[in-house]
Amino acid sequence: MKRRDFLRSTAVFVAGASVSISALDFIDPKELLAANPELRWGFLVDTYKCVGCGFCVKACKLENDIPYDANVTRTWVERYVIKKDGNVVMDCPKGARDGFTSKLIDQNASGMLAVPDDEIAQAFFVPKLCNHCTVPACVQVCPVGATYQTADGVVLVDRTWCIGCGYCIMGCPYGVRFFHPVEHVADKCTFCYHRISNGGNTACAQACPFGARKIGNLKDPNDPVAQMILNQRVGILRDEYGTKPNVYYIGLNKEVR
Amino acid sequence: MKNHVWRPLFVVIGVVIAILLFRSVYVPSDFGSQELGYTFGYHRLSNEQEWKDFPAEYKDTEYCNECHDDKVEELRGAQHAMIPCENCHGPALSHPDDPEKLAINTSRELCIRCHAKLITPSSGREDIPGIDPVEHNKGEECSECHNPHNPSLEDM
For domain A137-187, give the CATH number.
Answer: 3.30.70.20
Mean pLDDT of the region B127-137? 93
Write the residue in A123, A190, A195 that is nearest to B56 by C-beta.
A195
Q: Could you tell me if residue B34 is inside a domain? A: no
A47/B56 Cβ within 8 A: no
Q: For residue B83, which residues of chain A lie inside 8 Å, CB to CB?
A: 209
Write the residue in A31, A49, A197 that is nearest to B37 by C-beta.
A31
B109/A98 Cβ within 8 A: yes
CATH architecture label of A41-133+189-250: 2-Layer Sandwich (3.30)
From its phi and psi, is residue A81 left (phi > 0), alpha (psi between -120 and 50) or beta? beta
Which one, of A147, A174, A177, lies nearest residue A163 by Cα? Answer: A147
Mean pLDDT of the region B138-156? 88
Give A65 to chain B, closest Cα distance, Å.
Answer: 9
Span B8-64, pLDDT tens digits? 999 999 999 999 999 999 999 999 988 888 889 999 999 999 999 999 999 999 999
Q: What share of chain B is helix, strand, coil (3-state, %, to 5)?
A: 45, 5, 50
CB distance A178 to A95 below 8 Å? no
Distance from C-alpha of B128 to C-alpha of B130, rounded to nearest angstrom: 6
The predicted pLDDT at position A16 comes to 84
Distance from C-alpha of A189 to C-alpha of A130, rounded to nearest angstrom: 6
CB distance B83 to B105 below 8 Å? no
Q: For residue B112, which residues of chain A lie inside 8 Å, CB to CB?
A: 99, 101
Share of chain A above pLDDT 70, in %: 93
* Element of type H or E holding B46: helix B46-52
Mean pLDDT of the region B61-69? 93
Which residues of chain A have a pLDDT value below 70?
Answer: 20-36
Domain spans in chain A, listed from the N-terminal domain onward = 41-133+189-250, 137-187
The predicted pLDDT at position B78 comes to 93
Write the residue in B43, B53, B123 that is nearest to A145 by C-beta.
B43
Extended strands (E) in A53-119: 76-83, 88-91, 105-106, 112-113
Separation of CA A99 from chain center: 21
Q: Could you list the residue range(s) of the whole structural domain that residue B122 is in? A: 106-142
Same fold, A41-133+189-250 and A137-187: yes
Residue B146, judged by CB atoms within 10 A of its CB (0-12, 13-18, 19+), counts as middle
What's the mean per-residue pLDDT of chain B? 92
* Element of type H or E holding A141: helix A137-141
Q: Could you tell me if residue B52 is inside a domain? A: no
Q: How many domains does chain B have?
A: 1
The predicted pLDDT at position A22 comes to 62
Distance from C-alpha of B109 to C-alpha of B111, rounded to nearest angstrom: 6
Cα dihedral sign, A23-A29-A35-A36: positive
Which one, of A39, A37, A44, lies nearest residue A217 by Cα? Answer: A39
The predicted pLDDT at position A14 comes to 87
**Closest residue of B to A81, CA-based?**
B120
Residue B81, chain A, CB below 8 Å: the answer is no
